[in-house]
Each structure stands twice: as C-alpha cells, then as structure tokens.
Amino acid sequence: MSVKAKIGPSILNADLSQLFEESEKLLNNGADYLHLDVMDGTFVPNLTFGHPVVKCLRSKIKDAFFETHMMVQRPQQWIESMADAGVDQYTYHIEPVLDQVDEISRKIREAGMKVGLAIKPGTDLEAVVKHIPNADMILIMTVEPGFGGQKFMTNQMPKVKWLRENYPLLDIEVDGGVGQETIHQCAKAGANMIVSGTAIINADNQRETISLLRSTVQDAIDA
C-alpha cells in the first residue's frame, strides 16, 4: 500500500467570473480535486471568497473532491458553513490557533470533513508533527500564503522529505509556485498531493500539464 499522486488545481488563478466553467474544464482535463483558496484579509492580506461561493459551485459540481485551504485567523468559525457547503477536506493554518489544533480538528471530523493542517514557510515542522495523529493531510506551503504567482521556495523540501520518511502513508501536499520546472523537487522529496495554480490554469494544454505533473509524482512514489 502506498500514497497516490493527486493533482489539485488552485482555482484562485482562474477567471472567477467563470468559476463553474473553469472548474469543470479542469476536472474534465484530469484534475483529481479542486483546491479552493479562502482568505479572510486578516491572516493574509488578500480577501477571496467564502462558503456561499463554494456552495454554489457544489450545487453544479456534484462529485468532485473539494478541498478548502483556509488562510484565516479563526478557522473554527467556518467549519459548519463549509461542511454545509459540501466541502470534503478542510485544510487550515495552525499558526493562529496553536493551542486549539486538536480541538478544531475534532470538530472538522465531527462535521464530516477530512482534516488538513497547513504551515507557512517560516513555521517549524515540529509545530505540526504532534498533531499528525488527528490529521488526514499536511500541507507544506512553498510560498508565503496570500498571493498567487510567487516563486517556489526550495528550502521547504526538507520538511516534505522528513515527513515522507517518517510517515510513509501520510498525504503530503505542497502549494505555491509548483509547475513543470519545480515538480521534480516536490516528487523527489515525497509530496503526493500537488496544488498548482498558474502553471495549470494558464497552460496551453491543461490536460497534458496535469498528466505530466501526476506522472512525475507517481513515478517517484513507485520508484
């Protein structure tokens, strides 16, 4: 048994006025899940969309796996509404709620969603390791959260490598600056869930790009 390569485009880089069409296109082109960036303007400077938008999207896309990446100051505030909106996995940043992580994770599970724990580049891995028993996935940010189109941070790869060596069956996600030039580093380090925004959305051939990212990761898993 081993983890499986999964590619989740970040739709933040898509034309948000065409959110459904863009999402459907990504799924038709082979995306394994949709990565929905939720920002509150407090934890990160930007503001994106909330549960009403996610709920609308779910009403049109019944079967796809939705992961919300909650870049928010109070992740506990949105658990019920995101569960109601049809979210499958609730991934949140631990930094603002370090003393409440296990309690928040339990509430997410009780609401029927999977639990993802995210850390910013400046956060030590040890801050999240003790919470792994209560999580389904760990997200290692490879850029500072809050903005698309940033440069990939190679210095985050040792975190991924350590996690993979110590937790061979854990879902490990990377997000930020991941594309054809950087996927090999992610795959080699042991990431199996790949969030890619610009590189997929703006690709001349989305299907080919998604397929290339996936096969690079799967080959590393199978090696």
Residue-by-residue pLDDT tens, the chain, 223 positions: 789 999 999 998 899 999 999 999 999 999 999 999 999 999 999 999 999 999 999 999 999 999 999 999 999 999 999 999 999 999 999 999 999 999 999 999 999 999 999 999 999 999 999 999 999 999 999 999 987 678 999 999 999 999 999 999 999 999 999 999 999 999 999 999 999 999 999 999 999 999 999 999 999 999 9
Give the HSE-up count for residue 70: Cα atoms under 13 Å, Cβ half-sphere: 29
**Domains defined for the chain, CATH in brackets:** 6-222 (3.20.20.70)
pLDDT of amino acid 149: 72
Sequence-ordered list of residues with C-beta below 8 angstroms from that of 41, at least 6 positions apart, any chain: 47
Other C-beta atoms closer than 10 Å to the C-beta of 49 total 18
Interatomic CA distance for residues 88 and 65, integer angstroms? 6
**Dihedral sign for Cα atoms in the order 77, 61, 195, 6:** positive
DSSP structure string for 107-124 = HHHHTT-EEEEEE-TTS-
Element (H, E) at 219: helix 206-222
- Residues annotated catalytic, as ranges: 37, 175
pLDDT of amino acid 147: 73
pLDDT digits (tens, 9 = 90+) for 167-196: 999 999 999 999 999 999 999 999 999 999
Alpha carbon separation from 123 to 89, 95, 139, 202, 203 (Å, rounded): 22, 8, 12, 30, 32
Interatomic CA distance for residues 143 and 18, integer angstroms? 26
Interatomic CA distance for residues 42 and 71, integer angstroms? 9
Sequence-ordered list of residues with C-beta below 8 angstroms from that of 62, at least 6 positions apart, any chain: none
pLDDT of amino acid 150: 83
pLDDT of amino acid 109: 98
pLDDT of amino acid 216: 98
